[in-house]
């Protein structure tokens, strides 16, 4: 089987004034279809940078990202934006929902941006699975943190992305809501075969995945590939 995501000697150097910060220093990772990979490592070791670069939100300084066989660097900005919309679902610690739209609007907007228009069947399946059917008329400010993150997950998976990239998705949630959200991610992985890469610094959260990848100082030091 081919990996859905592959990095080859991936470097990311931030130029901050006169100082260069090498956030990624030659990362080689493979993620295969159907995997749920947890990414752990101390603060500042490059986890978020890795997620941003593999998801096409920011560009590598050196090396390659292959996402579903596409070389991100070869695509250009417009091509990367399209690939991101069609193949990647993002989930962030701070939910990042649009405050003026209700839950339904936030999820449906992702379908419109995707270009295929609103698909009521898919919308029903996803919102039922995430337990959101009676929360759809509420704006983010009227929802709990756990509910907001469930809306964000619904938005991330509504277009059947090849991969979901989640950056500390339970970082703003209490224990009960964290367990709920992690259980849902595991269910999406098991029942829908959704491939997931999830950053966390909580070992209990990491244990929801099938593989733990450990980072340190811009390098993957353990668990880089399933093989």
Ligand X SMILES: Nc1ncnc2c1ncn2[C@@H]1O[C@H](COP(=O)(O)OP(=O)(O)O)[C@@H](O)[C@H]1O
Binding residues vs ligand X (CB under 6 A): 14, 16, 21, 23, 41, 43-49
Rounded to whole angstroms, how far apart are CA atoms 91 and 169? 6
To Mg ion, the closest distance from the beta carbon of 47 in angstroms equals 5
Strands 36-40 and 196-199: parallel
Q: Which residues bind Mg ion (CB under 5 A)?
A: 47-48
Binding partner of residue 118 among Mg ion, ligand X, none, CB cut-off 5 to 8 Å per kind: none
Helix 103-114 / helix 120-129 crossing angle, nearest 10 deg:
130
Nearer to Mg ion, 103 or 185 (CB): 185
Binding partner of residue 6 among ligand X, Mg ion, none, CB cut-off 5 to 8 Å per kind: none
CB 72 within 8 A of CB 83: yes
Nearer to Mg ion, 47 or 135 (CB): 47
Nearer to Mg ion, 47 or 150 (CB): 47
- The closest alpha carbon to 41, from 215, 218, 226, 206, belongs to 215
Strands 196-199 and 163-167: parallel
- The closest alpha carbon to 189, from 136, 129, 104, 113, belongs to 129
Binding partner of residue 104 among Mg ion, ligand X, none, CB cut-off 5 to 8 Å per kind: none
By Cβ distance, which residue is nearest to Mg ion? 48
To Mg ion, the closest distance from the beta carbon of 66 in angstroms equals 23
To ligand X, the closest distance from the beta carbon of 57 in angstroms equals 11
SS3 assignment, position 201: coil
Binding partner of residue 14 among ligand X, Mg ion, none, CB cut-off 5 to 8 Å per kind: ligand X
Joined together, the tokens standing for residue 42 give: 């101390």
To Mg ion, the closest distance from the beta carbon of 78 in angstroms equals 27
SS3 assignment, position 209: coil
């Amino acid at each position: 089987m081919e990996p859905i995501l592959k990095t080859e000697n991936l470097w990311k150097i931030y130029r901050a004034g006169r100082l260069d910060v090498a956030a990624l220093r030659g990362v080689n990772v493979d993620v295969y279809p159907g995997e749920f990979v947890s990414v752990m490592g101390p603060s500042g070791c490059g986890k978020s940078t890795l997620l941003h670069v593999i998801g096409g939100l920011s560009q590598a300084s050196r090396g390659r990202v292959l996402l579903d066989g596409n070389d991100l660097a070869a695509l250009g900005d417009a091509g990367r934006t399209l690939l991101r919309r069609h193949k990647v679902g993002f989930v962030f610690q701070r939910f990042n929902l649009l405050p003026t739209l209700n839950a339904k609007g936030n999820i449906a907007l992702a379908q419109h941006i995707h270009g295929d228009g609103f698909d009521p069947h898919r919308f029903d399946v996803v919102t039922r699975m995430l337990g959101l059917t009676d929360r759809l008329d509420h704006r983010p400010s009227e929802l709990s943190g756990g509910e907001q993150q469930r809306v964000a997950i619904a938005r991330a998976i509504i277009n059947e992305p090849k991969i979901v990239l989640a950056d500390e998705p339970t970082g703003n949630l209490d224990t009960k809501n964290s367990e709920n959200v992690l259980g849902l991610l595991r269910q999406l992985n098991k029942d829908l075969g959704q491939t997931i890469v999830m950053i966390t610094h909580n070992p209990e959260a990491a244990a929801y995945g099938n593989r733990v990848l450990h980072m340190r100082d811009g390098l993957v030091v353990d668990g880089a590939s399933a093989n």
